[in-house]
Amino acid sequence: MAMKCIARLRSRRVVQDHLLRASNEAAVGGGCCWANLPQELLWEVLLRIEDSESSWPQRKNVVACAGVCRSWRIIIKQIVKVPQLSGKLTFPISVKQPGPKDSLLQCFIKRNRSTQTYYLYLGLTNLTLRKFSFNFSMAALLDVGKFLLAARKCRRPTCTDYIISLQAEDISKGSNAYVGRLRSNFLGTKFTVFDGQPPHTGAKIAKSRSSRLPNLKQVSPRVPSGSYPMAHISYELNTLGSRGPRRMHCSMNTIPATSIGPGGLASTQAEFSLNNVNPSQSIPIFHSKSASLENFLSGPLSYQKNGRLVLTNKAPRWHEQLQCWCLNFHGRVTVASVKNFQLVASPEDGPAGPEHEKIILQFGKVGKDLFTMDYQYPISAFQAFAICLSSFDTKIACE
């Protein structure tokens, strides 16, 4: 028995040594023995791995295969579909791509009050949620989920910024993991979501005073970190009082209103850009002076159409037995809170269709400093996370 165990350990060590040597060869640009496998066999092997590892943490094996060598990475990128088609988040760029079309992708947000930080995880199914309600430990909960994004709240004299990063340990605008930010006005009733990289060809970088402030950490020259406005969020006075959800509108600059209709498409980023961007060669997103960022943050509420997708919160229904306004979260929300909301596409001036009843984003409280966030096409995890962050701010003018 001891000899068998020793032989098994030796064989495992041999495999690990081969993988390590292959990774080192790929890193220095040399030949890789794993790249010499027949393409048909390699394709079949990687396809089976992708099909079998459908959820995290097992899905990390798919990511590991993409790091073996260049030929493996090319095939993996062809096999792994975007979240819109597969319903899976695999690579970091997946957080910038639209969610699945036919179902909500279930995530949760953990808030740390002491550090003013927020962490987005993939996971927290209804079964796990029920376990958590019966004293399921927070450590076990975080082990179940897959970390996606982190945000840190930064208060300024006239506004509030939420810096969003791909790394939980490095949340700064000067980091290579910087994804974007959310900025509010002084009252916390209007927010703008900025992408750190151009969301599409022709996007124009927004001028910001904060980028000229002294003592700011400089961004790596490899990363075109900028401020590309991609969404505007507005909160209005709640006519239902404190018992009802806040009224909110989200104007998605980079998503056309036709994307939710039959045959509609939303832009999808294929990878993070590593080249410097020349803002002088770009085309502005805003088409009129009245739609500029400064006027939006300081002026009266207005919702620019121009063919953009506009999301509004779903109207609640009065519950006779509970004597309060209620929304059906299908078990995903367990604690009543003014922060809870569901967003659907606004029909604007046209008639409402079935596509305007579909919930695109829902957010709600399930415990102390724990919230669920479920989203689907045509918005991405980054956009959904930024919209949910706006709900954390206190809005005295709206309540």
Q: Tell me, what CATH number does 156's domain have?
A: 3.20.90.10
3-state secondary structure of 183: strand
Whether residues 46 and 116 fall in one domain: no
CB of 373 within 8 A of CB of 110? no
Q: Domain ends where: 80, 97, 112?
A: 80
Whether residues 230 and 340 fall in one domain: yes
pLDDT for the residue 281: 34
Averaged pLDDT of the chain: 76
pLDDT for the residue 280: 33
pLDDT for the residue 242: 53
Q: Domain ends where: 80, 114, 146?
A: 80
Whether residues 163 and 181 fall in one domain: yes
Whether residues 52 and 187 fall in one domain: no
Whether 393 maps to a domain, the answer reads yes
Q: Which DSSP symbol is given to 62? A: H
Q: Domain ends where: 27, 51, 80?
A: 80
Whether 213 maps to a domain, the answer reads no
Whether 272 maps to a domain, the answer reads no
Q: What is the CATH number of the domain that holds 47?
A: 1.20.1280
Whether 374 maps to a domain, the answer reads yes
pLDDT for the residue 265: 86
Q: Which domain holds residue 143?
A: 83-200+225-237+246-257+306-398
Cα-only R_g, the chain: 23
The Cα 356–Cα 198 span in angstroms is: 28
Whether 295 maps to a domain, the answer reads no
Whether residues 52 and 165 fall in one domain: no
Whether residues 91 and 66 fall in one domain: no
Chain-centroid distance of CA 159 in Å reads 23
Find where tokens 């819109």 sit: 84
Whether residues 116 and 55 fall in one domain: no
Q: How many folded domains does the chain comprise?
A: 2
Whether residues 118 and 145 fall in one domain: yes
pLDDT for the residue 110: 92
CA dihedral 164, 168, 174, 179 (to 10 degrees): -30
In this structure, the number of other CB atoms found within 10 A of the CB of residue 24 comes to 11
Whether 284 maps to a domain, the answer reads no
User: What DSSP string runs through 180-230?
Assistant: EEEEE-TTSSEEEEEESS-SSTTPPPPP-GGGG-TTPPPPPTTS----EEE
> What does the pLDDT look like over 371-396, one tens digit per residue?
999 999 999 999 999 999 999 876 55
The Cα 63–Cα 51 span in angstroms is: 13
Whether 19 maps to a domain, the answer reads no
Residues 6+ apart with CB under 8 A from 269: 93, 96, 97, 199
> What does the pLDDT look like over 130-162, one tens digit per residue?
665 555 555 666 666 789 999 999 988 888 999
Whether residues 196 and 333 fall in one domain: yes
Whether residues 54 and 125 fall in one domain: no
The Cα 369–Cα 382 span in angstroms is: 20
Whether residues 105 and 195 fall in one domain: yes
pLDDT in tens, the chain (399 residues): 444 444 444 444 443 454 445 445 544 444 567 778 888 888 998 999 999 888 888 888 999 999 888 889 999 999 999 999 999 999 999 999 999 998 999 999 999 999 999 999 998 666 666 665 555 555 666 666 789 999 999 988 888 999 999 999 999 888 889 999 999 988 888 999 999 887 665 555 555 544 444 344 444 444 445 678 999 999 986 655 555 567 889 999 999 988 988 888 888 887 876 543 343 333 333 333 334 444 545 444 444 456 899 999 888 887 778 777 788 888 889 888 888 999 999 886 566 777 788 999 999 998 888 999 999 999 999 999 999 999 987 655 555
> For residue 6, what is the enclosing H or E element?
helix 2-27
The Cα 131–Cα 141 span in angstroms is: 9
Phi-psi region of 123 (alpha: psi -120 to 50; beta: other; left: phi over 0): left
pLDDT for the residue 336: 83
Q: State pTM to two decimals.
A: 0.78
Whether 159 maps to a domain, the answer reads yes
Which whole-number Å values give the CA distances from 137 to 80, 140, 315, 364, in the listed order? 33, 5, 34, 20
pLDDT for the residue 7: 47
Whether residues 354 and 230 fall in one domain: yes
